[in-house]
């Protein structure tokens, strides 16, 4: 039995209780949300010690951190450190996107230090295991999914929305950057060379059989996400939305938890429309977004461009934010880039929770406590409540005031002056 099937029977175990408690949601309501597919709780049956992180309706907005090697830079120890740092900074999930080195060994090492849900994109390994991407056999698509499921992967991004219909729409779209999804590009290249349908779409029922056996949550990948502002809102993207909506229905009928991925690069005025459209055609499946980035010219600061988009997307209903680092579009991120990316995404996630149904009260209490600490000039309390306590403490300490206030205002601190004035009167 999968978790979604247990939820439909009203069965509650310790893991579900911990998850509901973490979100501040009543257990019965929590079960109903999972049963409907409005909430997912990724956990492979082969993994035991996973911190419960629910994604979806009424749950707190979650943040994912991507780590992993590239063919140009293989350093497994650094990727392990990135996973540890990302979790320390507050990441709610970690994905291994490695494409260079011994992928099985790297994945297992990163998973060993990951306490939150762990994800992968299996097609990367399938492509690396063959001499050429186009030489993959249809069995290779599924062999790697089963291998990673057996290893304990909790959720997988799989680009099942790529089919001949969506590829034809892409051909006629007039896109500037075409496809920027690595997984999507691998599958499209394979299809065009072999003149065959995407196995992940054609044999979707078989894919679900594998995932169901290990209770792996599927994240339906967005192969046609726009890679620049020019390409946002085109027919190729919306065609994939509709296909993903149909696949969500199949997942739920089969008893496999699923979420849906979305764009990409989107201008501010299109984000709400895009998110609401995805939520509508997928019947409120949890929505996982990369950003979206609101401009193309923020190289070196794309984590900020993405956080802006994520906050707006969250207001419209997005549930899961994939972080973007300052290295996006430029290089494989460093450990510090990973940390900054997580913090930027956590700020956006908390901003969303301040207005989100089910989380508003708890999120606003945190801000109230911070305001109270500022009123009382309680610096240690302020550091403790900050999203990044280490940086807050470091900035305060490097130019410490001679007074009890900060060095910006010193003894002319507005809070202190008004407080003392009222006390005298």
Overall average pLDDT of the 385-402 stretch = 93
Q: Give yes or no for a contact between 245 and 228, defined as CB atoms under 8 angstroms apart.
A: no
pLDDT tens digits along 171-195: 999 999 999 999 999 999 999 999 9
User: What is the architecture of the domain spanning 59-358?
Assistant: Alpha-Beta Barrel (3.20)
Which alpha helices (H) appear in 255-334, and where do they start and end? Answer: 268-281, 302-316
Tokens of 298: 């923020």
Tell whether the torsion through CA atoms of 256, 80, 309 and 374 is positive or negative.
Answer: positive
Ranges of each domain in the chain: 59-358, 361-424
User: How does pLDDT run across 291-330, given as a tens digit for each residue?
Assistant: 999 999 999 999 999 999 999 999 999 999 999 999 999 9
Is residue 425 scored above 80 in pLDDT? no
Closest to 155 in 3D by CA, of 238, 53, 254: 53
Task: Give the pLDDT score at 131.
Answer: 84
Average pLDDT of the chain, as a whole number: 96
SS3 228: coil
Tell me the sheet residues that pair with 14: none
Task: Give the least confident one: 23-37, 336-350, 393-407, 410-424.
Answer: 410-424
**Share of residues in the chain with pLDDT > 90 (%):** 92
Q: Span 87-101, mean pLDDT?
A: 98
Quick one: pLDDT band at residue 32, thresholds 50, 70, 90? very high
Q: How far apart are CA 353 and CA 225, in angstroms?
A: 25
- Site of tokens 């990044």: 388
- Could you tell me the sign of the dihedral formed by the alpha carbons of 51, 56, 58, 60, in that order? positive
Which pair of structure tokens corresponds to residue 212?
């169901």
* Mean pLDDT, rounded, for 143-155: 98
**What percent of the chain shows pLDDT beyond 70?**
100
DSSP H or E run through 265: none
| Predicted local distance difference test score (pLDDT) of residue 407 | 86
pLDDT at 370: 97
Q: What does the pLDDT average to over 148-174?
A: 96
Nearest Cα to Cα of residue 59 among 113, 117, 126, 108 = 117
Tokens at 335, concatenated:
């450990």
Q: Determine the average pLDDT of the residues in 254-262.
A: 97
pLDDT in tens, 345-364: 999 999 999 999 999 999 99
Q: What is the pLDDT of residue 169?
A: 94
The pLDDT value given to residue 332 = 97
**Beta pairing partners, 156:** 120, 218
pTM, whole model, 2 decimals?
Answer: 0.96
3-class secondary structure, 67? strand
* Confidence band, pLDDT 50/70/90 cuts, at residue 398: very high
CB 99 within 8 A of CB 107: no
Q: Please, which pLDDT band fits residue 409 given cuts at 50, 70 and 90?
A: confident
Query: What pLDDT is attached to residue 410?
Result: 86
| pLDDT score at 421 | 82
């Amino acid at each position: 039995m999968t978790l979604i099937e247990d939820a439909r029977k009203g069965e509650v175990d310790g893991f579900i209780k911990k998850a509901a408690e973490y979100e501040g949601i009543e257990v019965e309501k929590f079960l109903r949300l999972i049963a409907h597919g409005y909430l997912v709780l990724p956990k492979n049956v082969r993994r035991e010690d996973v911190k419960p992180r629910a994604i979806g309706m009424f749950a707190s907005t979650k943040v994912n951190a991507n780590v992993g090697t590239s063919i140009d830079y293989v350093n497994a120890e650094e990727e392990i450190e990135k996973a540890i740092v990302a979790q320390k900074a507050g990441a709610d999930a970690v994905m291994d996107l490695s494409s260079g080195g011994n992928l099985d060994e790297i994945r297992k090492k990163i998973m060993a230090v990951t306490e939150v849900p762990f994800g992968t994109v299996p097609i990367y390994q399938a492509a690396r295991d063959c001499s050429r991407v186009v030489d993959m056999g249809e069995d290779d698509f599924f062999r790697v999914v089963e291998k990673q499921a057996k290893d304990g992967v909790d959720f997988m991004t799989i680009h099942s929305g790529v089919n001949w219909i969506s590829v034809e729409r892409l051909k006629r779209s007039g896109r500037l950057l075409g496809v920027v999804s690595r997984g999507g590009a691998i599958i499209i290249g394979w299809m065009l060379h072999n003149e065959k349908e995407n196995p992940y779409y054609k044999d979707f029922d078989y894919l679900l059989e594998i995932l169901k056996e290990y209770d792996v949550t599927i994240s339906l990948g967005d192969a046609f996400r726009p890679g620049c502002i020019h390409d946002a809102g085109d027919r190729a993207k919306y065609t994939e939305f509709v296909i993903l909506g149909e696949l969500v229905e199949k997942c739920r009928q089969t008893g496999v938890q699923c979420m849906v991925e979305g764009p990409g690069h989107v201008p501010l005025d299109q984000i709400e429309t895009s998110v609401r459209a995805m939520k509508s055609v997928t019947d409120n499946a949890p929505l996982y977004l990369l950003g979206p980035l609101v401009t193309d010219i923020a190289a070196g600061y794309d984590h900020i461009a993405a956080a802006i988009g994520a906050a707006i997307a969250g207001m419209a209903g997005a549930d899961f934010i994939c972080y973007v680092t300052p290295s996006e579009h430029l290089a494989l991120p460093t450990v510090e880039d990973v940390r900054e990316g997580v913090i930027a995404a956590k700020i956006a996630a908390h901003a969303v929770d301040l207005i989100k149904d089910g989380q508003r009260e708890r999120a606003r209490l945190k801000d109230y406590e911070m305001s109270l600490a500022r009123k009382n000039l309680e610096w240690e309390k302020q550091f403790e409540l900050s999203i990044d306590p280490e940086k807050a403490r470091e900035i305060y300490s490097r130019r410490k005031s001679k007074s009890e206030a900060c060095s910006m205002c010193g003894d002319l601190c507005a809070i202190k002056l008004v407080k003392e004035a009222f006390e005298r009167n």
